[in-house]
Structure 1
């Protein structure tokens, strides 16, 4: 029996205490990343001919960091191993000229997350047990019941919601019954696709949500510009007390509002495509689609 790895994303509903714990964990992972990155930079500046500290060397330093910063013990220990692994991979991409130099992480970023390899347990239909957090309320856990959880990621998005992404090892699902039908799909611009049977599949439409997202995107840009000007004027006229862009909450509220509309559009589009593709797979055994990018058609005014 073959096995496969699939991703499962759940919504988290932490209480006040768990929210404080989550932000502590986000900060701890960010702290370890920044400390390791700063150590690597300082090491190279002091001695350019020195060898790069590999993943094993970074993991060896974690014990000393926990003694120097006791609050790091509040996090899942395996999350720091993932941080070191990701940092080493970033440097490997840099050495291969396939990526830029790793950057320091900021606590003001719109998205915060941490990843661990410890054991997560499904304890109820809408309950999971996570390391350091204990029992936490989630959305439906039916997809994660019959599988082995290999890795988990807790994230906080710009919409103000918490999510849990699971990497689950499960058995290959049973094949659908054969229908003996074959279809060809022609991808278009006016219609999403047209089948060889003459059936048309319309494009996804969310005009009102797109209009609201555009409006709040404009408000966000305008408010952020106003806040930037106000910060510069204040810092120029007051040398004793400095202000930061994050001290102004008006543009941040607009950022969250436009992110919510954009998330609703993305969710509805994903739901529409999932339902369409599921219906096609159940109806046909062989589906042939032309190798064509619809976006490139729009660049050619004669075709579009």
Structure 2
């Protein structure tokens, strides 16, 4: 590869970064051959955001620790990375640096986002768990994700949707209009956008607004998912088909803003981390089914519930239902049935 691209022979480039890029290239093609869903692998387009990966090595060390590899912590505020040297970081958790057990640093990812913020991500490995096991709570919960609020739980609790994007939508639109004007002016004057200082200044402002929304949403999702996993032995949610939901243009912005897919991903890995159980079930008829008698709306000549029907009365048992709470109960019941089937097979 270096024969075709001379810049790769630059001694300032980490050799392990090139090795990781080649490895990721082969992984992409292997995944394509197995799955055939996402299309032919392509190179990332040129962007203001970038990242690369390297690896920590322990060439002459008998034990692997956080302070004796090619990537190592000097103290809580400084880390050494090959080719980049000594970097000042915002701060590592002291409880991590105080670990007396053998802790190996594996893959290291250095990245920069569109808002010109730099990040360092470390893959750590150890025979000793990084978190202690939690005691059993003997509680299970089903959650219904919806656009009316963020979620409704089977115990009756609701968590409001913070709608971070909507709160900043006006400011973002104004900043984007200014960015478009500066882009048109730069093109009219035949100036490169990367060399246009006014354009770059405004681009950075727009990127920072997006980053602020992303950070606030991620913090909310992290806190909510951690609380659910720590306080329940079993969490059940619907399988999401976000791609189909986004086709509804009336709801597309609300669905994108809420971050359901990221939330379910957090629940999944945190359940493994804290030795809890997280189950997803089919969403079929969870909203339309009466939890008390099992009657399904849309059958026996009845009409199906629409998104406008927030409350309804079962035509068979005449029980009054709050739409999302009833759905959460049905989701929990489906999850318990799925759990029992899995246990009986094992």
TM range (shorter): 0.5 to 0.7
Shift of 1:155: 1.8
Of 74, 81, 87, which aligns to 2:12? 74
1:260 and 2:238 are equivalent in the alignment? no
Matches within 5 A, 1:258-297: 258-293=206-241, 296=245
Contact 2:80–2:87 (CA under 8 A) maintained in structure 1: yes
- Give the C-alpha shift of residue 182 in structure 1: 1.5
> Who is 1:164 aligned against?
120
Say yes or no: does 1:216 pair with 2:175. yes
Count residues in correspondence: 229
TM, length-normalised to structure 2:
0.57
Partner of 2:264: none
Distance in 2 of aligned mates of 1:223 and 1:249: 10
Change (3 A) 1:144 1:110: farther
Question: Structure 2: how far apart are the matches of 1:92 and 1:288?
Answer: 33
In structure 2, the residue matched to 1:124 is 75
The root-mean-square deviation of aligned C-alpha atoms, in Å, is: 3.2
- Indicate whether 1:185 and 2:143 are aligned: yes
- Residue 196 (structure 1) aligned with residue 145 (structure 2): no
Native 8 Å contact 1:93 1:99 kept in 2: no
2:105 to 133, 142, 149: 149
Say if 2:133 is the partner of 1:175.
Answer: yes
Deviation at 1:283, TM superposition (A): 1.9
**Aligned-pair distance for 1:95?**
7.3
Structure 1 residues 229, 159: CA separation in 2 closer, same or farther (over 3 Å shift)? same
5+ residue gaps in structure 1? 1-31, 40-64, 232-242
SS of match in other structure, 1:274: helix
Structure 1 distance, partners of 2:28, 2:185, is 36
CA contact (8 A) 2:193 2:200 kept: no
User: Shift of the alpha carbon at 1:287?
Assistant: 1.5
Determine which structure has the larger helix proportion and give its number. Answer: 1
Residue 112 of structure 1, aligned match among 50, 53, 61: 50
Q: Is the CA contact (8 Å cut-off) linking 1:181 and 1:285 kept in structure 2?
A: yes
Tell which has more relative contact order, 1 or 2 (C-alpha 8 A, sep 6+).
Answer: 1
Offset at residue 166 of structure 1 (A): 1.4
- In structure 2, runs of 5+ residues without a counterpart are 57-69, 251-305, 309-346
Query: What's the CA shift string for 1:259-290, capped at 9, x where partnerless?
Result: 11111111111111111111112222111223
